[in-house]
Chains A and B, each alone.
Chain A
Amino acid sequence: MALGMGCTARPGKSRDTRTGSWRVFRPEFIADKCTKCGMCAIICPEGCIGENEEGLPVPDYDYCKGCGLCAEECPSEAIEMKKEEK
């Protein structure tokens, strides 16, 4: 890889760092309780919560650090933090 002139870089490689490996607790999303309000996706500091065809939140566990903000702030308590099994 040639050096980026003057220490520059184009986007893309940030995703090489799989911050999901930092996780101690894992958010489990309970579809039955979810109201699809989107709060979890808005506040996720990793921006790694997308949604599926039904509009339900889908976390990207490659990047989820397990901070627990989504579970804490979910207005319908539809996210539970579970100890990560490694």
Chain B
Amino acid sequence: MKEDEAACVLFDAGHRACGGCAAAMAARLILDAAGKDTIVVSSTGCMEVFSTPYPETAWKVPWIHSLFENNSAVASGVVESLKKQGRKEKVIAIGGDGATFDIGILCLSGAFERGHDFTYICYDNEAYMNTGIQRSGATPYDASTTTSPAGKCSFGNRRPKKDLPAILAAHGAPYVATASIAYPPDLKKKVEKAVNTPGPCYIQVHAPCCTGWGFEGEKTIAIGKLAIETGLWVNYEMEEGKITKVKKVVRKPVEEYLKEQKRFRHLFKPKRNDAEIAKIQAIADRNAEKFGIEIKLKK
């Protein structure tokens, strides 16, 4: 089999991601959708580290990594530099949720306010995975991480996820979407739409992390689907600040999602914590109401 016959046309094999890594899937799907005339600006993080140990790079498009928190600012410079030279490459900034929600939000906000023509894609694995699973602003309620561990007087992370898509939509972004690696064609469609929409666009990709969340690598997609089917993750699109499309589901109880992951194990063992599970169910119920995701089955 020749190399170019494999599916890894623009994101090469040989990278050091964990087996079953959603971020690696995301990188390849993003490039599949965006095409070769794309410049990628990466933050420090898992995807950067597993793809570019010198002198090896998995990126077959032009790619740059500077720091953890500055990919939006670097991308701003790349965009304006290309504009000055009359060049037409698309610019995509990619960061994990730590880079995007937390340390890089100043640069991200600045770049979106200024309106540079680029697409920002956050692969959201809901914690700092590269440094060993610490909580971020994207970590969901009650998830146990190494800095929000469950314990005798803790149920894990005490705060719900920051609503970053809404924050970026409030900047006047023309296109904001959420997606999941569990639905590759949908993800690719959204990337295509974002890179072809002038102005700053944002896509937040749910990227279940087998190592950080505690499930087997073969279950990455199944877990991603459960997140959507329970209403704990909602796939939607916002155009000019209005929600225009939502993935509807026949909802399952959240515990079907929670019980598959070690990060929520403390809600079931040593004994079931109905009160906390109910709080998480309430988050899913609010999502369902807010986005209208529910498909009601006829009885």
User: Secondary structure at chain B's binding surface: helix, strand, loop or mixed?
Assistant: loop
Report the nearest A residue to B58, measured CB to CB.
Answer: A14
- Which residue of A17, A41, A68 contacts B56 across the interface (Cβ within 8 Å)? A17
Report the nearest B residue to A48, measured CB to CB.
Answer: B13
In the complex the two chains form, is A69's CB within 8 Å of B20's CB?
A: yes
Provide the residues of chain B in CB contact with A81, threshold 8 Å.
218
A52 in contact with B25 given A9-B56, A69-B220, A71-B218 (CB within 8 Å): no
Residues of A in contact with B (beta carbons under 8 Å apart): 1, 4, 7, 9-19, 22, 41-52, 58, 60, 62-63, 65-69, 71-73, 81
What is the total number of residues of chain B having a CB less than 8 Å from a CB of chain A?
A: 43
Taking the complex as formed, is B24 at the interface, i.e. its CB lies under 8 A from any CB of chain A?
yes
User: Which residues 1-51 of B have a CB within 8 angstroms of A?
Assistant: 1-3, 5-9, 11-22, 24-25, 28-29, 51
A68 in contact with B28 given A1-B55, A45-B17 (CB within 8 Å): no
Question: What's the nearest-Cβ distance from chain A to residue B146, in Å?
Answer: 23
Residues of B in contact with A (beta carbons under 8 Å apart): 1-3, 5-9, 11-22, 24-25, 28-29, 51-52, 54-60, 181, 184-185, 216-222
Provide the residues of chain A in CB contact with B20, threshold 8 Å.
45, 65, 67-69
Further 17 A-B residue pairs, CB within 8 A, beyond A19-B16, A63-B14? A11-B58, A13-B55, A13-B56, A14-B12, A14-B51, A15-B12, A16-B56, A18-B14, A22-B19, A41-B7, A43-B181, A45-B24, A47-B11, A47-B13, A71-B218, A72-B221, A73-B222
Question: What's the nearest-Cβ distance from chain A to residue B110, in Å?
Answer: 25
In the complex the two chains form, is A14's CB within 8 Å of B217's CB?
A: no
Provide the residues of chain B in CB contact with A15, threshold 8 Å.
3, 12-14
